[in-house]
């Protein structure tokens, strides 16, 4: 008798190596209850993040992060950018925004700063006119009906030659990627502050798992960095 329901982990899917890197307060928040960005990382952790970006083929964020932080998602270090160029790559990794309704502002820093390919992933219900305008600035991938189909998106990114994706949040995209079973590792820098607030974004928002669906992790390392701690986890498959 075949098992009624194959675990998601049982499906072998061709996909890039995907890791989440986020900074969170000691109480697990990514930003304030007003979704205002908080400087959680110290100088050394931002250096670590810049190195991760320089090594990644692509960086992915959700539209919520773009609308609240207007990140450039660029590699800051000139040396790292030069090393990427010397290796025949663009100065910056491919920058991807998961944006169901094509709300990425046309004057966003992600378009204004740095060279390199931008990809906007929209759902098939995104307004055509908004998609057309984004197509003048980015590669637009259409997938999913209301929300972006993340599994199909990462499959397409793999077909485009992207082998490693650094997901930099935010709270809802982290949920989307984790609940779809697409994340291989998680790096969380836990900073020395309390943000609090019932509505403040946490490391993983979204619908949440039931007791039967809890996602198991294997601790890879714990490292003190300035006044915080960097935790590295491997996501257990087949949950």
Ligand X SMILES: Nc1nc(=O)c(N)c(NC[C@H](O)[C@H](O)[C@H](O)COP(=O)(O)O)[nH]1
Ligand Y SMILES: NC(=O)c1ccc[n+]([C@@H]2O[C@H](COP(=O)([O-])OP(=O)(O)OC[C@H]3O[C@@H](n4cnc5c(N)ncnc54)[C@H](O)[C@@H]3O)[C@@H](O)[C@H]2O)c1
Identify which of residues 40 and 181 has a Cβ nearer to ligand X in the complex.
40
Say whether residue 188 binds ligand X (CB under 6 A).
no
Give the nearer residue to ligand Y in terms of CB position, either 116 or 176. Answer: 176
* 72 part of the interface to ligand Y, by CB under 6 A: no
Residue from 58, 59, 73, 98 touching ligand Y (CB under 6 A): that is 98
Could you tell me the smallest distance in angstroms from the CB atom of residue 7 to ligand Y?
A: 20
**Cβ atoms within 10 Å, residue 228:** 23
State which of residues 31, 74, 143, 204 lies at the interface with ligand Y (CB under 6 A): 31
Positive or negative: CA dihedral 118, 53, 233, 162: positive
Contacts of 107 (CB under 8 A, 6+ apart): none
If contact means CB under 5 to 8 A according to the sort of partner, which of ligand X, ligand Y, none does residue 173 touch?
Answer: ligand Y
Using the minimum distance from each CB to ligand X, give the nearer residue, 91 or 152.
Answer: 91
Q: Which residues contact 239 (CB under 8 A, 6 or more apart)?
A: 7, 8, 9, 181, 213, 214, 215, 216
Q: Which two tokens stand for residue 72?
A: 């450039």
Closest CA to 93 of 66, 115, 69, 121: 115
Q: Which of 36, 41, 37 is closest to 76 using CA atoms?
A: 41
69 lines the binding site for ligand X (CB under 6 A): yes
Binder of ligand Y out of 35, 133, 155, 156 (CB under 6 A): 35
Q: How far apart are the C-alpha atoms of 221 and 4, rounded to whole Å?
A: 36
Residues 18-47 that bind ligand X (CB under 6 A): 23, 37-41
Residue 73 binds which entry of ligand Y, ligand X, none, CB below 5-8 Å type-dependent: ligand X
What distance in Å separates the CA atoms of residue 9 and residue 101, rounded to the nearest whole number?
29
Q: Which does 64 bind (CB under 5 to 8 A by kind): ligand Y, ligand X, none?
A: ligand Y
Does position 172 interact with ligand X (CB under 6 A)? The reply is no
String of DSSP letters for 125-137:
TS-HHHHHHHTTT
Binding region for ligand Y (CB under 6 A): 22-23, 30-31, 35, 37, 40, 61-65, 68-69, 98, 100, 147-148, 150, 168-173, 176, 201, 205
């Amino acid at each position: 008798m075949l098992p009624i329901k194959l675990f998601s982990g049982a499906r072998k899917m061709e996909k890039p190596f995907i890791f989440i890197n986020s900074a969170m307060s000691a109480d697990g928040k990514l930003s304030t209850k007003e979704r205002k960005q908080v400087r959680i990382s110290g100088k050394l952790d931002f250096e670590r993040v810049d190195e991760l970006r320089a090594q990644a083929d692509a960086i992915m964020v959700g539209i919520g992060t773009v609308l609240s932080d207007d990140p450039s998602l660029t590699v800051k270090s000139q040396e790292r950018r030069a090393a990427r160029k010397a290796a025949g790559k663009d100065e910056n990794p491919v920058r991807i925004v998961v944006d169901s309704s094509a709300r990425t502002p046309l004057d966003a820093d992600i378009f204004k700063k740095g060279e390199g390919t931008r990809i906007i992933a929209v759902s098939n219900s995104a307004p055509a006119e908004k998609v057309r305008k984004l197509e003048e600035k980015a590669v637009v991938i259409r997938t999913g009906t209301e929300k972006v189909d993340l599994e199909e998106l990462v499959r397409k990114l793999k077909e485009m030659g992207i082998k490693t994706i650094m997901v930099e949040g935010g709270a809802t995209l982290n949920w989307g990627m984790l609940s779809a079973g697409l994340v291989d590792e998680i790096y969380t820098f836990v900073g020395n502050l309390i943000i609090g607030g019932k509505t403040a974004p946490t490391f993983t928002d979204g619908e949440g798992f039931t007791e039967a669906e809890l996602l198991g992790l294997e601790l890879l390392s714990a490292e003190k960095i300035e006044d915080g701690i960097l935790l590295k986890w491997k996501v257990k498959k087949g949950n």
